[in-house]
């Protein structure tokens, strides 16, 4: 059933703050907004395991209501450029701990503004996604069907934004954002055993902290610290994972942009 759900997402096609569109208005909006964008942004990431990956947001559909409720769907894909470990378990774990990891996946997010002041805002955010992670299972099983597993991941938390500098005439800006979250992860038990043995549970939970800056609304650099809390105490997967990310947004990607008063 989960396999059918995953391919439905793929065919009809965040959020994590790595994909978040930061809000520079800091005022209550009075119009509805609907946007559809293709090849919206690209991201490079490097984690403490030495893994380097490149993520593309192929499709983004975003709706904002008059009450500042923000709903978004993203179709993403991540290609591993370099595995930093000779241990297959650690390489699979690097992809699992990347919120945007997986060869292909879909993410639905909900964001609601709580309060805003001059150049400062607080928002509640939540997301749920389904992705296909491709890696080498322990024991090096052959065949594509044995080299991937489906993972459902989600998060609940808050986002803080602070605009430090904005020169409208020169089109320059500098925004800081910080986001603490509770994270969830689910994969079938037999998939967890194939890739992680007894180091992980089928249903996992933990936390994440993201901190970053966005320059001129198109270049974003961030740090992501996350950890699963219910892993085996003696497992090498118990330690927190630190990830460095660099996002670049393309300026002309819209195929639909509707505003309604």
Confidence of residue 144 (pLDDT cuts 50, 70, 90): low
- Domains plus CATH for the chain? 2-17+36-260 (2.40.128)
pLDDT digits over 149-179, tens only?
999 999 999 999 999 877 765 667 899 999 9
The confidence score (pLDDT) of residue 233 equals 79
Report pLDDT digits (tens) over 192-209: 999 998 899 999 999 999
How many angstroms separate the CA atoms of 183 and 185, rounded?
7
Confidence of residue 42 (pLDDT cuts 50, 70, 90): very high
Q: What is the pLDDT of residue 169?
A: 56
User: In the predicted model, what is the mean pLDDT of residues 127-152?
Assistant: 84
Higher pLDDT, 252 or 3: 252
Residue 172 CB coordination number (10 Å): 12
Average pLDDT over residues 67-87: 92
Tokens of 73: 């769907």
| Average of per-residue pLDDT across 114-132 | 91
pTM to 2 decimals?
A: 0.83
Where does the chain show beta strands of DSSP type E? 32-47, 52-64, 69-82, 104-117, 120-134, 148-167, 172-186, 203-215, 219-228, 241-249, 254-260
Percentage of residues in the chain with pLDDT exceeding 70? 83
C-alpha to C-alpha distance for 195 and 217, rounded to whole angstroms:
39
At 181 the pLDDT is 97
Largest CA-CA distance found in the chain, in angstroms, rounded? 59
**Dihedral sign for Cα atoms in the order 81, 2, 37, 47:** negative
**Higher pLDDT residue, 174 or 16?**
174
pLDDT value of position 15: 40
Reported confidence tier of residue 23, pLDDT bands at 50, 70, 90: low
């Amino acid at each position: 059933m989960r396999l059918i759900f995953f391919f439905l997402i793929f065919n009809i096609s965040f959020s994590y703050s790595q994909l978040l569109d930061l809000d520079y208005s800091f005022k209550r909006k009075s119009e509805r907004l609907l946007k559809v964008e293709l090849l919206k942004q690209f991201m490079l990431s490097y984690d403490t395991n030495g893994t380097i990956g490149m993520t593309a947001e192929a499709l983004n559909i975003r709706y904002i209501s008059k009450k500042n409720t923000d709903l978004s769907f993203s179709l993403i894909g991540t290609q591993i450029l370099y595995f930093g470990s000779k241990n297959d378990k650690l390489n699979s774990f690097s992809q699992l701990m990347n919120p945007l990891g997986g060869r292909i996946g879909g993410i639905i997010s909900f964001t609601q503004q709580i309060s805003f002041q001059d150049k400062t805002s607080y928002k509640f955010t939540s997301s749920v996604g389904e992705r296909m992670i491709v890696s080498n299972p322990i024991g090096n099983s052959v065949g594509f069907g044995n080299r991937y597993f489906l993972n459902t991941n989600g998060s609940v938390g808050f986002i803080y934004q602070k605009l430090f500098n904005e020169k409208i005439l020169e089109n320059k800006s500098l925004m800081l954002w910080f986001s603490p979250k509770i994270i969830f992860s689910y994969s079938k038990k037999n998939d967890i055993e194939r890739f992680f043995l007894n180091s992980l549970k089928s249903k996992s939970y933990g936390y994440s902290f993201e901190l970053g800056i966005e320059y001129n609304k198109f270049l974003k650099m961030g740090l992501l610290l996350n950890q699963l809390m219910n892993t085996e105490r003696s497992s090498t997967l118990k330690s927190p994972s630190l990830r460095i990310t660099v996002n670049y947004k393309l300026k002309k990607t819209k195929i639909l942009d509707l505003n309604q008063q």
